[in-house]
Amino acid sequence: MGLARRAQQHYTYADYVAWPEDERFELIDGVAYAMAPAPTRSHQLVVVELSRQLANALKGGPCQVFVAPFDVRLPHGDEADEAIDTVLQPDVLVVCDAAKVDEHGVRGAPDWVAEVLSPASAARDQTVKLAAYERAGVPEVWLLHPTDRVLTIYRREDGRYGRPQIQEMHGRVAIGVLPGVSVDLDLFTG
């Protein structure tokens, strides 16, 4: 999976918040995965443009746009924050339920998530991280590959992600879970 893991043991959010700030990890089912070094220029351009378009489209409504680093705590049930063993930092996310947002990030499934793939994290983003989003009930996940200019969209159907929609990063694409909101992929230049 590209990036090193922290020592093999089961970690929780209580462990995660105690680690030094210069150590960046994500937790997936208790396994700590090291975050990639600073993103590339093309990665950052996609994140900035995507968040700009979303913030403009959602302005004045109940939905909020956040960008990494921003913790998304995904409980398996009603466990206390300290016991949560999955904490992710999506590149861009939208949350429409203000009750899920607190000073520490988001608790529960965001309404929409985007991951911008990079060589160091692409395998994990497309496998274990995507499975964590599915299990948590994230309705729609976009995986953007800026180098190959490919967009893969996963939408939940009957409690699972159906067959992905795969297309070139070109044209205007609607976000299914955000009625009336679309993204102009032609503006993602690098």
What's the pLDDT at 6?
A: 56
What's the pLDDT at 1?
A: 40
What's the pLDDT at 5?
A: 54
- Which positions ≥6 away from 18 have C-beta within 8 Å? none
Q: Render 132-185 in DSSP notation, one character per residue.
A: HHHHHT-SEEEEEETTTTEEEEEEEETTEE-SPEEEES-SEEE-TTSTT-EEEG
**What is the Cα–Cα distance from 120 to 134, expressed in whole angstroms?**
22
What's the pLDDT at 188?
A: 81
What's the pLDDT at 125?
A: 85
Token code pair at residue 119: 């060589």
**What is the Cα–Cα distance from 143 to 154, expressed in whole angstroms?**
8
**What is the Cα–Cα distance from 15 to 57, expressed in whole angstroms?**
37
Tell me which amino acid residue 108 is. Answer: G
What's the pLDDT at 190?
A: 54
Tens-of-pLDDT digits for all 190 residues of the chain?
444 555 668 899 999 888 888 778 888 999 888 887 767 788 888 999 999 999 999 999 999 999 998 999 999 999 999 999 999 999 999 999 999 999 999 999 999 999 999 887 888 888 899 999 999 999 999 999 988 899 999 999 999 999 999 999 999 999 999 999 999 999 886 5
**What is the Cα–Cα distance from 150 to 172, expressed in whole angstroms?**
14
**What is the Cα–Cα distance from 102 to 7, expressed in whole angstroms?**
29
